[in-house]
Amino acid sequence: MYRIFLFLLLSYSVSAQNDSTFIRSVYNTALSDGEAYEDLRSLCKDIGARITGSAEAEMAVLWGKSKMEEYGFDKVYLQEIQVPHWERGTKEAGWIKTNKGEIIKVHLLALGGSIGTNGTMEADIIEFNSLEDLKKANSKQVEGKIVFINQPMDEQQINTFRAYGGCYAIRGFGAVEASKLGAKAVLIRSLGLPIDEHPHTGSMHYVDTVERIPAAALSTLDAEKLSEVLTNGSAKFVLEMDCRAYPDATSYNVIGEMTGTESPEEIITFGGHLDSWDTGEGAHDDGAGIVHCLEALRILKTLNYRPKHTLRLVFFMNEENGNRGGQSYAKIVSDLGEKQIAAVESDRGGFAPRGFHCDGEENYVQLLETFEEDLTHYDLHVFEKGYGGVDISPLKKYYPEIPLFGFVPDSQRYFDFHHAPSDVFENVNKRELELGAAAIASLLFLLDKNL
């Protein structure tokens, strides 16, 4: 019995040592021989912003397929899907007209999916501090006016995603609630923490039973300015937007694989979303996530790692305004009868990695926690139950027991750039991006060994 125990102990020690050595090689490769930063530069500068249905989105599909082929993955292919096609049109314009005759130009962006104004729109403006305050108003207060919802993100939240979640509803449902009361349009304070001139766009929603009205986001700086004007008296707002929607377009998820050597029929899906909003360059959202996962698979191949299970990299299309890529992927693989055993997503920016969340049963959370010993030396300390990601979440419908793992970077600066013109390549730190790619490659390695 003692000999058996000693053998098992030595076997575990050697295995742990091998894991540690391999992960060290992953980080060395990412930091000294990495391709992540150049790949992100190419995606941002050679392709640009990639809103679904645009020529840039089409070129991004070709870019992604070419990159996967260049890196020599075992399989590279496209998965056809249908996606929404919305265009911003002529650049938006807006002005505050004070009761003293002053005209103040503001920085604003139409919310994704909004209708246009059909020319110039002018109306009195009324301010509400939250969506709940708007819901409590009556139509006599609002009818014929432009509603301004000035609800800031909660700066006291340490995790900025919680602050974002706390006021997302003003963007998602502000137009519906304002229209119910007869408003002509709705303006929201951008969902961002800094006070600056960069407006933040993002998806919004209509319902068929409520008249559609234009919706736009003011920069936080201009939201403060408008609120100050309204504190001192009444004001009008002049708005012009040329948005329009088109029939659905054909696009693609881009897929690359390393085939498993022991259980190739068992698939670990991982990736991010290839589309972005049409402002900035989609560098953090989600160029960084795309590059994290591309580089992770490239590193594993460079180190001659042969996975037990099939590792499938997916560049999902249309996360921002429909999640058609994630929904289509989940249905297609289910219809094919594939065995999906885990999924990983990076869609929280290219900042310094902190760890991973697990959306799964307790045994998978416990498995994730066991990885801390191997990864804590790399400044990773978050290994806990949490959210996986938008693109991989539809897999739960078809694979209820699948564990979903979400990459968790430092969140403090993400909402400086989220959906804003400032989300450009220059605002991504090279070393932080490389560390994120290494963290994801290491997680894939550990999942593949232990599932």
Domains of the chain: 22-82+248-450 (3.40.630.10), 92-243 (3.50.30.30)
- What is the distance between the alpha carbons of residues 441 and 291, in angstroms, rounded to a whole number? 12
Residue-wise pLDDT tens digits, 361-380? 999 999 999 999 999 999 99
DSSP three-state, residue 194 = coil
For residue 242, the model assigns a pLDDT of 96
Which of 14-28, 61-75, 342-356 bottoms out in mean pLDDT, i.e. has the lowest? 14-28
For residue 15, the model assigns a pLDDT of 52
Q: pTM for the full model? A: 0.94
Q: Which two tokens stand for residue 323?
A: 């999640």
For residue 5, the model assigns a pLDDT of 39
Task: Please calculate the CA angle 170-176-180 and round it to the nearest 5 degrees.
Answer: 125
Q: Which two tokens stand for residue 381?
A: 């300390």
For residue 16, the model assigns a pLDDT of 53
13 pLDDT band (50/70/90 cuts)?
A: very low
Residues 6 or more apart from 3 whose CB is under 8 A from it? Answer: none
DSSP states of 42-97 = IIIIII----TTSHHHHHHHHHHHHHHHHTT-SEEEEEEEEEEEEE--SPPEEEEE
Q: Mean of the per-residue pLDDT values for the chain?
A: 95
Q: What is the largest CA-CA distance in the chain?
A: 92
For residue 14, the model assigns a pLDDT of 40
For residue 9, the model assigns a pLDDT of 38
Q: Is 273 exposed, middle or buried (0-12, 13-18, 19+ CB in 10 A)?
A: buried
The arithmetic mean of pLDDT across residues 181-207, rounded, is 97
> Going edge to edge, which strands form the sheet with 185-189?
103-105, 93-98, 235-240, 120-128, 146-149, 185-189, 215-218, 108-110
Q: Is the pLDDT of residue 188 over 70?
A: yes
Beta bridge mates, 407: 356
- What is the distance between the alpha carbons of residues 240 and 384, in angstroms, rounded to a whole number? 46
Q: Is 12 exposed, middle or buried (0-12, 13-18, 19+ CB in 10 A)?
A: exposed
The arithmetic mean of pLDDT across residues 151-162, rounded, is 95
For residue 6, the model assigns a pLDDT of 41
- Report the catalytic residues: 319
For residue 441, the model assigns a pLDDT of 98
CB atoms within 10 A of CB 315: 30
Q: Is the pLDDT of residue 226 over 60?
A: yes
Q: Is the pLDDT of residue 32 over 90?
A: yes
7 pLDDT band (50/70/90 cuts)?
A: very low
- What is the distance between the alpha carbons of residues 353 and 344, in angstroms, rounded to a whole number? 14
150 pLDDT band (50/70/90 cuts)?
A: very high
Q: How far is CA 331 from CA 38, 252, 328, 397, in A?
A: 34, 14, 5, 9
For residue 208, the model assigns a pLDDT of 95
Q: Is the pLDDT of residue 126 over 60?
A: yes
169, 202 Cβ separation under 8 angstroms: no
Q: Is the pLDDT of residue 295 over 90?
A: yes
Q: Is the pLDDT of residue 8 over 90?
A: no
